[in-house]
Amino acid sequence: MNKRFFLQATAALAAAASLGAAQAQTTPIKFQLDWRFEGPSAFFLLPAAKGYFKDAKLDVSVDAGNGSGGAVTRVASGTYDLGFADLAALMEFHANNPDAPNKPVAVMMVYNNTPASVMALKKSGIKTPADLAGKKLGAPVFDAGRRAFPIFAKANNVGNVAWTAMDPPLRETMLVRGDVDAITGFTFTSLLNIEARGVKADDVVVLQYPDYGVKLYGNAIIASPKIIKENPAAVKAFLAAFTKGAKDVIADPAKAIESVKARDGIINVELETRRLKLAIDTVINSPDARAEGFGQVKGPRLSLMASQVSDAFNTKTRVKADDIWNGSFLPSAKELDILPKGKK
């Protein structure tokens, strides 16, 4: 009897040790989004919901954010391991904090084109960038489109404009009320917010930056130097699991929204599905993305952006393109081949 008890106890201890070892192999990852739980956040919430991160031995927690600048600083501080942020915001952080010990780097491009646009109501008479001269534009001071507006203005010979600052929730309201003539913002955010305020899409003029000579990259996945140094395998595993999830999101956006609804029960499912589809069509499965490859960047374009951001943002030091990008953790070209073909 004692022998049987001993064997059972030994087996139980072995099982517990095995379970402990398996749990110890799971790497916790804190991930910071750039914005609230909206349609595009499905790209991160779906692989978590489907267990793709778990299958990769990662315990990923995804938190909502309040802007790319915040995402960059939180990853830089070590509070988060990985994040999602506008590449221009990352460049600005590097150039304005040259002596910072922990500058995050971009490890995967997601929005191959900046989602920034200038938007106006048709009744304003604004049809082209040239019509913006002398007009009153509105946006939060940290808005990516507002920060990059000097690049847009230079590319299109836009004369002087006057800026009005406001909190994000007031941006589209002030446009609809006529307090400002035009706004800057992410196309898939502001256009749908304008519609939600009773304006038909046909009554809105959208001047998308990529359509007017501004070839800035948009949002990328960024990583802290600490995790890159201490656990590069986890970074690689995260990107592989993310890519698998991204393929599912692009294939069925309506289904993918369920993962967002699970995190924020009060979202408007129809609206967020449209927002996700708009993001996919304008900045993820764009002609530039298909030409360069999902997740990747091109050196000359990255260098041009670094120079443009240095000038437009008036940074303390010049942005060094090589310092902000590390593509060594990307999945294989075959794994990254997830964008639907044949779209014009």
Q: Are 139 and 184 in contact (CB under 8 A)?
A: yes
How confident is the model over 152-170, as pLDDT tens digits?
999 999 989 999 999 999 9
Mind listing the pLDDT tens digit for each residue in 96-108?
999 999 999 999 9
Give me the long-range contacts of 250-258 (CB less than 8 A, separation at least 24). 250/280, 250/284, 250/285, 250/338, 250/339, 250/340, 253/39, 253/42, 253/277, 253/280, 256/42, 256/46, 257/39, 257/42, 258/49
Q: Region 257-280: what's the mean pLDDT?
A: 96
- 3, 11, 15, 71, 164 from 8: Cα distances, Å: 9, 5, 11, 50, 73
* Measured distance CA(275)–CA(292) in Å, rounded: 24
Q: How does pLDDT run across 184-240, given as a tens digit for each residue?
A: 999 999 999 999 999 999 999 999 999 999 999 999 999 999 999 999 999 999 999
pTM of the model as a whole? 0.90
**Positive or negative CA dihedral for 210, 205, 153, 145?**
negative
Residue pLDDT, tens place only, 299-308: 999 999 999 9
Shared domain check, 147 and 127: yes
Domain end residue (candidates: 186, 212, 238): 212
How far apart are alpha carbons 20 and 14 in whole angstroms?
A: 10
For residues 273-292, give the mean pLDDT. 96
Query: Residue 344 domain-assigned?
Result: no
66 vs 176, higher pLDDT: 176
pLDDT at residue 12 is higher than 70:
no
Residue ranges making up the domain that contains 157: 116-212
Does residue 311 share a domain with residue 189? no
User: Within this chain, do residues 181 and 203 fall inside the same structural domain, yes or no?
Assistant: yes
- The answer to whether the CB of 71 falls within 8 A of the CB of 224 is no
**Quick one: 246 and 184 in the same domain?**
no
The residue assigned the tokens 């917010």 is 193
The token duo for 120 is 């106006």
**pLDDT band at 344; cut points 50, 70, 90:** very low
Phi, psi of 107 (to 5 degrees): -120, -10
Domain boundary, last residue among 184, 212, 240: 212
- The pLDDT mean for the chain works out to 93
Query: What CATH number should be reported for the domain holding residue 195?
Result: 3.40.190.10
Q: Are 260 and 245 in contact (CB under 8 A)?
A: no
78-125 pLDDT tens trace: 999 999 999 999 999 999 999 999 999 999 999 999 999 999 999 999
